[in-house]
Amino acid sequence: MKNLQNFIDGKSVPSKSGKTSEVINPSTGKAYATAPISNSADIDAAMAAANKAFDSWRDSTPSERQRAILKIADAIEARQDELIAIESENTGKPIGLTKSEEIPPMVDQIRFFAGAARNLEGKSAGEYMKGMTSFIRREPIGVCAQVTPWNYPMMMAVWKWAPAIAAGNTVVLKPSDTTPASTVWMAELMAEYLPNGVFNVICGDRETGKNLVEHATPSMVSITGSVRAGIEVAKSAASDVKKVHLELGGKAPVVVFADANLEAAAEGIAIAGYFNAGQDCTAATRVIVEESAYEKFVALLAEQAKGIKTGAPDEDALFGPVNNANQLEKVGGFLNRVPNHAKVLVGGSKVDRAGFFFNPTVVSDLRQDDEMIQNEIFGPVITVQKFKDEAEAVRFANGVAYGLASSVWTSNHSRAMRMAKAFDFGCVWINTHIPLVAEMPHGGYKRSGYGKDLSSYGFEDYTRIKHVMTNLNG
């Protein structure tokens, strides 16, 4: 049994609480490690370390921060097989896909933020009032409290710490209690290149996270997680007016018009819907198809689903298990409550094996007010409904509480542009779904949260703006 520990002030330390929880391998359903359940004393220690480190890290030059972060990227890339093994054991993800689809963009994102450290922009200095010169300073915010989810543990950690540290902040990060392993490993690696206290990791449960975001020290709180968690964070942060960055749930509409390449759309949507077992806030799992192409497309999608496999990390599969027993039960619950007017065309059940596996599933003939349309399933379940015209497609697409990502599939460029304008989502893909690049922002509207990850916009979220005015005649 492995024994994970917190990482505070440059070293691995056990929790002061003395309490631990089991870490489960979702491919087997069995515990393979323990992790601390940190308490207020642990958080105090991590915050003190981060606060002390901020005094000097904030004064490091952009080039110094860039060099350190580039070295981290190089080290992760060089030791990627080690990290992949840790991530796959903790999440059940396929080893091959983790290597090809997660490591390269993750390392690229780290390098992007290393470069962003040297490219902050602001208004041109000038005399906006006679006799006075004004200019803008962009400064680090301070200590950042961060919470990451269990669907992409290592990549979501990077999305948090890379822009924060590149901007001159220091970090106390809490990974999900079910997936702490890769973040702890990352902290140990990063310690070789960062001053003590710049990056700290606290393991724990929901109470640990609550205490972290309510702590008086951090000037900013950033969370990727559920809507429930985001609302709680926003409420607690409001008590002392912390800056808040929220990336929450999603329910991405995937609108398919009859003039689209239906075969290519079915293949692309199946991959984007089932990748990572559908445990992605942008997953292509809510498909809305034009009436005249509905029957053909549904048949094509069902055929794609039948050819997709789930399996353990070392098996030839597109996706692994869902993350935990509760999530498996949640996904199964949606299928147990399928309305009478809908049809389960493929899958719809757990896989009969150890671990938390669920079969790739397609449910057709759903209606806009159905539970499966309105609520995030977060599993390998693709729903399909039909629309009559553009206006109804937009109404159905926007008719949910979320606003993170969307896609439209059509051969008509003007229509694609109309949809891109009309969709109330932070990202619109055209004839594709799910690719992300470091240079472009990721973030949503409505109950999907606020603030941006990736890009210069995400980097700027971790800075504050100061106006300086000097008297030319003084």
Q: Amino acid identity, residue 264?
A: A
Question: For residues 155 and 349, what is the distance between their CA atoms, to the nearest angstrom?
Answer: 29
Q: 114: which residues sit within 8 A by CB, 6+ positions away?
A: 65, 66, 67, 69, 70, 73, 162, 166
Q: Which residue has the tokens 């003084």?
A: 474
How deeply is 136 buried, as exposed, middle or buried, from its count of CB atoms within 10 A (0-12, 13-18, 19+)? Answer: middle
**Active site annotation includes 247:** yes
What is the helix (H) or strand (E) element at residue 146, kind and residue range?
A: strand 143-147
Q: Are 65 and 166 in contact (CB under 8 A)?
A: yes
Among the options 214, 281, 290, 376, which is catalytic? 281
Among the options 89, 247, 376, 460, which is catalytic? 247
| 15 HSE (CA, 13 A, CB side) | 21
Q: In what order do the strands lie in the sheet with 20-25?
A: 2-3, 30-36, 20-25
**Active site annotation includes 192:** no
What is the radius of gyration, based on Cα positions, of the chain? 23
Q: Are 170 and 120 in contact (CB under 8 A)?
A: no
Q: Are 17 and 36 in contact (CB under 8 A)?
A: yes
Closest CA to 240 of 216, 222, 221, 223: 216
User: Which three-class secondary structure state does DSSP give residue 287?
Assistant: strand
Closest CA to 154 of 53, 79, 215, 264: 79
Helix, strand, coil % in the chain, rounded to nearest 5: 40, 25, 35
Strand-pair partners of 173:
146, 201
Q: Are 276 and 380 in contact (CB under 8 A)?
A: no
Closest CA to 212 of 144, 157, 160, 153: 144
User: Which three-class secondary structure state does DSSP give residue 153?
Assistant: helix
Residues with catalytic annotation?
A: 247, 281
